[in-house]
Amino acid sequence: MTGIISGLRRVAWGAASAAAGLTAVVTGAEAGTGQPSPWQIDFQTAVTPIMEQIHGFHLFLTGIAATITIFVMLLLLIVMLRFNARANPTPSRTTHNTLLEVAWTVIPALILVVIAVPSFRLLFDQLEIPKSELTVKATGTAQWTWVYEYPDHGFQFDSNMLQDNERKPDQPRLLAVDNEMVVPVNKTIRMQTTAEGIIHAFAVPSFGIKIDAIPGRLNETWFRASREGVYYGQCSELCGRNHAFMPIAVRVVSEQQFDAWLADAKKKWATAPDDRSVVVAEAQR
């Protein structure tokens, strides 16, 4: 079984690589790092181990799908050319073929097993949170704002989308924010999500994370960014009127830069009674 899976994987990977090469030629552009690019039809560049696995699994599935499609098209062409009324005026009266019936039952089942093995491995890696070096809690509010809390360091701040007259020339429209979430590079980040009043979803494509933020519930995921830069995402749940204006911006910096930012952040956003939490607590009584 291992040999069959390995062989099919090589075939699928080869077909997917060829398709990816063709995609690059057709589009003339690669997927951007941290944000969408013009004419992009592939994933954003992966900067975490999970996103690299997702990208590889996607190519693997694309190769399998392409192989099946080509095989079925060839069968249709053979049937049309060899078994039409002109080429085959006296058709066969065969109604059963035991070997063929077994084959078209067993082969799809084996293909599903080949797909299931890496998919289960990917799901396990996504859900099994390793020992983290920093915890960040993101709360989606009923005012379509993200609130980022660093519970290990005792501060939190709001993050809102910048309007067009507030953006710098190099900041993307509908994605840039006033206060970015900042994390150190090559560190395991435990990402917690919740919400107030409305269901949201925290998603950053380059990190390969997308997790619901639900009122009264704390969900968790993780990421470890391997490259410095600013990576953008958005709320991926239809959460109401301003759903399209609830971006996520994560700035990945060196450990020294993060320590400096942390010192400034503690002074700027010192822990204070959270009026929003008080209101929610009173409403739940």
Locate the domains of the chain by residue range: 2-127, 134-284
Is 118:125 a contact under the CB 8 Å cutoff? no
Type of residue found at 167: R
Q: How far apart are CA 116 and CA 96, in angstroms?
A: 31
pTM above 0.85, yes or no: no
With b meaning 16 or more CB within 10 Å and e meaning fewer, what string describes 165-175? Answer: eebeeeebeeb
What fold, for 134-284?
Immunoglobulin-like (2.60.40)
Q: At 203, is the pLDDT very low, low, confident or very high (cuts 50, 70, 90)?
A: very high
> What is the pLDDT at residue 21?
41
Residue 256: which of 155, 149, 184, 151 has the closest Cα?
184
Q: Which fold has domain 2-127?
A: Helix Hairpins (1.10.287)
Q: Which of 16-20, 58-62, 85-89 has the lowest mean pLDDT?
A: 16-20
Contacts of 200 (CB under 8 A, 6+ apart): 140, 193, 212, 213, 235, 237, 239, 246
Q: What is the pLDDT of residue 33?
A: 76
- Residues 266-285, mean pLDDT to the nearest whole number: 55
Sign of the alpha-carbon dihedral angle for 27, 29, 30, 36: negative
Separation between Cα atoms, residue 171 and residue 187, nearest integer Å: 25
Question: Is 83 or 219 the better-scoring residue by pLDDT?
Answer: 219
